[in-house]
Each structure stands twice: as structure tokens, then as C-alpha cells.
Chains A and B, each alone.
Chain A
Amino acid sequence: MARGRHWVALWLVAFLVTTWLVYARQTAAIRAARELADLRARRANLDGHRADLERRIRAAESRAVLVPRAQARLGLHLPSDSEIVLVPAPTGSR
């Protein structure tokens, strides 16, 4: 009779351990999935930030913005071709 109770206890412990392992594994998986989703969100956020900066740099570099500002603030103008001298590039190797 006592031997039977031992077996029942053993099976119960085995069941509990197995259940706990399944629970722990599922919990870890959910946590990892959550972290993965967070990382993806961070990457998307950084990508968006980079695209926004690139767009702003592009807009700031455009002739529509630069030329009027250079004219108004620095008194510069777009050169006519007579004001452009192209220096012949050296062709020989040193």
C-alpha cells in the first residue's frame, strides 16, 4: 500500500515538474517575443528618425532653399559662365 503511495507521489512530482517546465518555457518564449517586438519597434523608430533627418537635410540642401538664402544673407549670386573657370586637372602621376 505504502509502495503504491510512493508511486503516486512520484508521478505527481513528475507531473508538477513537467507542467512547470512547460510554463517556464512558454513564459520565456513570450518574453523573448515581446523583446523582439520592442527591438523591431526601436529599429522602425530609428529608421523613421533617419528618414526624417535625411528629408530635412535634403530640403535644406536644395537650391530652392540655399540660393535665396545665399543671396539674401551673404550677397552671393549664381555665377554666370564667365565667372566660372575650370582648372585643368593634373593628368600625370607623381
Chain B
Amino acid sequence: MARPAVRIQVVEFGVLVGLALLVGRAAQVQLLHGRRWAEEAQAQRTERIVLPARRGALYDRHGTPLAVTQETYHVGIAPNELRDPAADGALISRRLGLTASAWQQALRRRYAYFAGPYSALEVQPLRSVRGVHLESVLNRFYPDPAVARATIGRVGDDGLGASGLERTLDSLLAGRAGAAVVLKDRAGREYESPARVIAPPVPGLDVVLTLDAELQEIAQRALDDALHRMDADGGDVVMLDPGSGEVLALASRQRDGSARPSAFTDTFEPGSLAKIFAAAALLSLRRVSPTDHVSGEGGKWRVLGRTITDDDPQPSLTLADAIRVSSNIAIAKFAARLTAAEQYTTLRDFGFGSFTGIEFPAEATGRLRPPAEWTRPSAASLAMGYELSVTPIQVAMAYGALANDGLLLQPTLIREVRSASGGVRYRHRPEPVRRVVSREVAAALRNLLRGVVERGTGAEAALTNFPVAAKTGTARRVVNGRYAAGEYTASFAALFPADQPQLVLVVKIDNPHKGSYFAAQTAAPVTRSMLEQALSARTVALDRARLSTAAPRAAAAPVDDDGGLVPYVVPWPYQPDSAGARPRRAVPDVAGFGIREAVRTLHRRGFRVALRGWGVAEHTWPAAGDSAAAGAMITLFADPHAGDRIRARGSAGARRGPRR
């Protein structure tokens, strides 16, 4: 037995050794391995996440949203965490639209996952339910999915544009994802912390399209009705503004109800629609005078081993008659005055056989063979619109060149590109491709087309009060490389109004089975119906003030003879929509105002207001001091922190002195 003093010394030594080991271990943990343990602790309490960027929105030309990004949710259920499985289950089933059996199945699993996606409204009552885990995800939402579906396209499962404009504009719309560190509590719930954003997400740019939602609806409904009534295989409608090349509406439909973008991708032989281009070459090169006549050959003419026929035989025809009654014989005879190169060059100049350059991921060039590949009857065939394949958008642009005094423009679907804060990054300006014919020849060609509607094959498209210029086209369809018996493409191209056209319409009906197959009885009435609807629509991009002065027959129309019908329709409250006619006024400076006050100020000044953001008014578009027509839409951008920025700008401005 050792002495007590020795035992105490042994215990003290043991304690000292223990303390030394403790300090040594602490030093090892803190100093040597400190970084690793700190990282591990950090990983347990925090998680690095990707902050998805909001995809830019797509709007129509009036600001109607066509595609927007919204926060939606996937829902996870941990059945063992539910406090009251019966009551919670009833609520969850109701909100997620689950059947009783589906819910019972979910309860049997350790963790049930419902991908949805569910909207914020649907999951709102579930937020407070223990055992329900919401995973937010940004989703693309199309307020009216049927509008211009093929043109707008869709976003794929990876969040990238998969088709249509969503694909073309992906680099603009997508934005740049950010990164952040989130805090986790003991239960694994995540909390975002503003102080831990590593890189904020950069939202995508918003794109204002040239499409007019109301015209688009008119086009789609008219096309659907026509295809149903005529039992046709499919069809397309294109409407565009010839002065800017902006496409206003694009509707495509196939028999099975699908809507692939056939206006860009499917080609057809235009038939008599192309006669006006032969006339353009003849007038430009002065190969024909207004009084030149050719024989109608009694409606049947055999040339180069081939028989050309007319449905409406005439004894003799001028060029105007050839266009008016759509005479194959006369246009073939007139076209013989052109060389192959001249005929080819004219068609090429109008844009056939090449891409239009529109911002769409897929476009067909059609087919226009060079003269070296022509056969002997090719010149006559091309004058009649055969041996040539075109897309509806090409036809619309070529007729647009006639409406635009001979200048061919590049078509566009994009009107503006804006940043998320509303700044305009790009605004479309008309882009001329080339001058195809002179101003005088274009006017003469429009006159020929006017004759088609007033006294020719396009009479079914005639309006009482407004002159229309148009051309019909009925062409045999090629099936498996041969002309199929009894199958036709009926097409119609119109300029509205005939003088200073504001609208080019192209209607194509594929293989109508019921009733007539002639464009005069199929596509022409559809065009008239669309024009009437466009005229009576509130927001359609027509300048009615210019129309009212360009309607010479309006005064002559007897308003009393309608037997009780509404004599006229004027939008109420009446808003003349010509920029020149509406009084312009300065946009007030509302920067720094509260939203309510800013909106009131703009309303008092006679503007309409579209609000973007919330908080304090920051700026407007058009900007303060710019002038805008009374009743124009002013976009007001607001931000909760705008006040600080405005004050900072104000003090900087004060240091620099007054701005002039």
C-alpha cells in the first residue's frame, strides 16, 4: 500500500495526463482538423442551392401575356409525420385532387411524392399541415394555351425552349441561374437567408411579340369553322402588317386537330396566286401595255404538247382581265414575252425559293428551280403558279411587297425585347430586303388585284364599305409525286384596304371535301368574315382613323335600309386610334410616388396604366416627359427600394446641377 502522498501524486499525474490529452485532442480538432470539421458542421446546418432564374414572359403587341413563368409546387407527404391522418388526409386529397384509393396507397408508403405541379392557390391550405413538404419550382404557364400554340411553342422538361419561339428566343428568355446557401433546422426544413445569396439569379428578358391576341383568335376561329364546314384536310391563315413586316396572326390546323406551324414549314403550289408576279415582271419590263389583248382560245389552248384550260372562257383578254378572271391561257401567253431569266429573277426577288428570315426555328424555302433545270412548258407553268412551291408566309410577304409600294420587307414576330425592369433592349424597325418593283408598278398591280374583288373571282371577299384587293388560287395537289385526282388547295391573298393597305391576309384551305373546291367559294368568304370581325373588334391593330378616310363608299351606304339591324357600331367609349388624330400629352413624372398615387396621377392625365412590380413608383414607359396619345397604355415600374435609388439619383443630380 503506497503512502497517501504518493497516491495523490499519482492521481495528480493522471489528471494532468488526462488534461494534456484533452488539450492535445482539442488542439488536433481545432487547429489541425479544424477546417474539415467546420466544413462538416456547415454542411449539416446549411446547403448550397441553385436559385432558378425567372424565365422571361411573352406578350402580344398590346401587352396581353401569352406565356409567363409562375411558382408552382411538387408536394411530398411523410405519412408518419401527420398529426391527424384522417383530417389531414381529407384536406390533402381535396387540394391535390386525389381519389380515396390513391390516398390510401400514399399512406402505405414511407414518403409519397406528387409531382403536380400544383399552383400556389392549390397548396396554400397545406402549408401549415405537418408532414407536408412543398418543393417550389418555376413553371411555364400559358394563360390561353390555344392561342398561337404552334408559333409560341413549348418549354421542355429541362426548362429550356423545346419548340417554336420558346426555342428561338431561349437565350433571351432563360436568364442566368443564381446560387445561395440556405439554413437548415433540426427537422431538415430549409430557410432562405438574404445574407447568404452567393450569386443572385438574373431574370430572363421579356419579349413583346408582334402577334395580336384578338386577331389571332379571329383567325383561329375562322379557320376552325372553315375546316369543319368544308371537311378539309387542314389550312393556314397568315395576317401581317405590310408596312412593318410584323406578323399579326398565324393560325394553322390539321384535320386531326393538331396545330403544327405549317405556315412556315409546309409548302404548296400557289396556282393562280402567282399570276400577279408574272404580271409584275411584265409591267416592270414594259412587255405589256394596258390595251394589249390576247385571244382566250375558247377556253382551251394546246401548246408545247400540253392543253391549258380556263374555267371562265373569254374571247379576248387584257392583262387586267387575265388577273381578274384568273385566265391560265392569257397569263401563259403574256408570260411568253418574258425570258426564263426574267421570270425566274422576278419570282426570286419576291422571296420565293429562299428563307424569309423570320425568327422561327424551322422554315421551308419552298422550291423555285433555276432556268437551267426548266423544261419547255416550265415558263407557262410558273406563270400559272405550278412547278413552284411556296409557304404561306412567303406568299404573305410577297403580297406585302405589293402593299408596301414594291418594297419587300423581312417578316418578324418580335416587336420588342425588354429587361425585367422594363427597359427596352430592342425595338423592331422595318427591315427592307430589296425593292422588287417600282412604286408605280406596285400601284398598278394593286389596281389589278382590286379588279379581282370588284368584278372577278374574288367577289365573295368584297366588303360593302371598304375596297379590298385580292387574288384567288386553286391548285391541284401533289400526292406522292403526282397530281391527285379531285384534290385541290384553295388559297386567297388579300390586301386590306386596297388603298394604303394595313393588312395582308393569306388563307389556305387544303383539300376541301364538302361543297366547292374553288378558292372563290372557299377561302374568299373566310377572308371576308375575318375582315368583318377585325373591323368590329376593339383592340385590333388597325388604324381606323385612316380607314375612315379611305372608305369612299361609306357615305353612299344607306344606313336606313337595314330593316331593324343595328345601323352602325362604334366602340364606346369612342377612342379614335390613329396616332395623328389622338391628342398627345406629356407623361407625368411619378417617380417616388406610392403606387396608388402614381396610378391616380396617370389616370387623371388620361392614360391607362399597366403595373409592373410593387412598392414605390420608379419610372414609366414611355418615360416621364415623353408624349403619348390620350388613352395610351403607360407601363408603370415599381420597386420596394425605388425610393432610395431615386433619392440617390436626386442628390447626384443636385450636385451636377439642373438638367436641361
Contact = CB atoms under 8 A, between A and B. Distances in A.
B143 interface: yes
Given A30-B185, A54-B65, A88-B549, A36 B194 contact: yes
Contact of B574 (A40, A82, A87): A87
A48 B532 CA distance: 37
Given A51-B141, A79-B569, A89 B578 contact: yes
A39 to B, nearest CB: 11
A2 interface: no
A33 B192 contact: yes
Contacts of B548: 86-89
A89 B580 CA distance: 9
Contacts of B121: 45, 48-49, 52
A45 B120 contact: yes
Interface of A: 29-30, 33-34, 36-37, 40-41, 44-45, 47-49, 51-52, 54-55, 58-59, 62-64, 76, 78-91, 93
A86 B217 CA distance: 23
Contacts of B214: 63
Given A47-B120, A54-B65, A86 B544 contact: yes
Interface string B418-436: 0000000000000000000
Nearest to B531: A81
Interface of B: 64-65, 68, 70-71, 119-121, 124, 127, 136, 141, 143-144, 183, 185, 191-194, 214, 217-218, 221, 463-466, 528, 531-533, 535-536, 544-545, 547-549, 551, 554, 557, 559, 562, 565-570, 574, 576, 578, 580-583
Contacts, number: 131
Contacts of A62: 144, 217
B70 A33 contact: no
A37 B136 CA distance: 12
Contacts of B532: 78-81, 84
A86 B551 contact: yes
A63 B562 contact: no
Contacts of A37: 191-192
Contacts of A58: 64, 143-144
B136 A33 contact: no
14 contacts: A29-B183, A36-B193, A41-B124, A45-B120, A47-B120, A58-B64, A63-B533, A64-B221, A78-B532, A79-B535, A81-B464, A82-B464, A82-B557, A84-B465
Contacts of B64: 58
Nearest to B143: A55
Nearest to A85: B568
A29 B127 contact: no
Contact of B583 (A36, A40, A64, A93): A93
A33 B191 CA distance: 6
Nearest to A94: B583
A81 B71 contact: no
Contact of B562 (A41, A59, A83, A89): A83
A66 B370 CA distance: 52
B465 A81 contact: yes
B193 A33 contact: yes
B127 A84 contact: no
B581 A91 contact: yes
Contacts of B545: 86, 88-89
Contacts of B551: 86
